[in-house]
Amino acid sequence: MKMLRNRILSVLCVIAIMLLAGCGAQNTTAKNGETTAAEAKPTKTINIAYQGGIGYAPIHVMETKNLIEKNYPGEIKVTFQKLDSGAAINEGIIGGSIQIGCMGVAPAVSGAAAGIPYKIVSGLCAQSHGLMSNNPEIRTLADIKDTDKIALVNTGSIQHILLAMTAEKVLGDAHALDNNIQKMSHAEGMAALESGTVQLHLTSSPFIYQERANERYNELTELNEVWPVGNTFLVAMASESISEDQELFQAVKKAFDEAIRFINEDRKGIVEIESRYLGLEPEEVEADLNQPECQFSAELKGVQDMADFMYRAGFIEKEMKAEDLMF
């Protein structure tokens, strides 16, 4: 009995020594520069917010193909959140719950000018915009009367800024049509144009394609003179905290570049992804992608021109230079 007790004590001593040795090993660096579990980098988290529409295809590709995870040299958890407005995205970035927010150029410029701690990390796309009228007598901005209503998604939106840019060029006053604006969602504006509740609708794809196909409407093409085909529509804004981590910043940049390259090189693949995200038939998605104004690029075009106009016309109080807007 005494012998058995001694053997048990011996075994327990050996186990205790092994456990202590194991704990010590967890807090040291292995040979050849290998990092132990205790010294491994903690898992990073990043939340990306965006809105609806085919213009956000690069985000859909990034999520589907785990491109940030692929390019980040460590453990990272990436989440994606679809929100209804740029305002909600800005609130999340200010509060720290969102690290990358995707939105129109105009709200992005306004946010940066207001002090939101973010800058453009990548362009996303160019998309078609158009100002349509159901009144055959309205062919130019000069034909719009005080009683004519112009539906657009929101004041301060890129649609509003494009209207103001056109008004400055054609009428000599950027704010000449501000009182004509009727705030409506894109879908509501299209329905209001159809019913005659409003006389004009300034909208983007895919709604503009449907309205152009309606022979009862005519387009005021002056808009295209101030915002040419190919100018950036949507951008990705990254919080300044992202730029402070160069490994993460480069992983994000590479992910956007890869996503946009995939869109431009694999038509079958992007049609499949967008059909799933947008709930549309592949033929409808492909038709939108085939529109010449539908372009995907990380390059920024026209952003500085819009920022300069917004300051000149009083939409922002601070003059914004390239270094204020872009990483």
Contacts of 218 (CB under 8 A, 6+ apart): 132, 133, 136, 138, 139
- Mean pLDDT for all residues in the chain: 89
Short-list 104, 105, 159, 106, CA closest to 132:
159
* 234-239/44-50 β-pairing: unpaired
> What pLDDT shows up at residue 40?
57
> What pLDDT shows up at residue 285?
95
> What pLDDT shows up at residue 312?
97
pLDDT per residue over 269-285, tens digit each? 999 999 999 999 999 99
What integer is the mean pLDDT of 210-230? 94
Give domain 44-127+231-325's CATH superfamily.
Periplasmic binding protein-like II (3.40.190.10)
DSSP string for 248-295: HHHHHHHHHHHHHHHHHH-HHHHHHHHHHHHT--HHHHHHHHTSTT-E
Residue that wins the pLDDT comparison between 154 and 70: 70
| pLDDT over 80 (residue 199) | yes
Give domain 129-226's CATH superfamily.
Periplasmic binding protein-like II (3.40.190.10)
| pLDDT over 50 (residue 49) | yes
> What pLDDT shows up at residue 205?
87
| pLDDT over 50 (residue 13) | no
What integer is the mean pLDDT of 96-109? 95
| pLDDT over 80 (residue 4) | no
* Chain centroid, CA 124 distance in Å: 7
Residue 293's pLDDT band, with cuts at 50, 70 and 90, is: very high
> What pLDDT shows up at residue 206?
87
* Structural domain boundaries in the chain: 44-127+231-325, 129-226
> What pLDDT shows up at residue 41?
60
> What pLDDT shows up at residue 124?
98
Strand, helix or coil for residue 85? coil
Q: Which of 37-46, 102-111, 220-229, 296-305 has the lowest mean pLDDT?
A: 37-46
What predicted TM-score, i.e. pTM, was given to this entire model?
Answer: 0.83
What integer is the mean pLDDT of 3-31? 44
The H-assigned helical ranges of 96-185 are 105-113, 158-171
Contacts of 184 (CB under 8 A, 6+ apart): 151, 152, 153, 192, 198
44-127+231-325 matches 129-226 in fold: yes
Contact criterion met (CB below 8 Å) for 83 and 56: no
What integer is the mean pLDDT of 223-233? 94
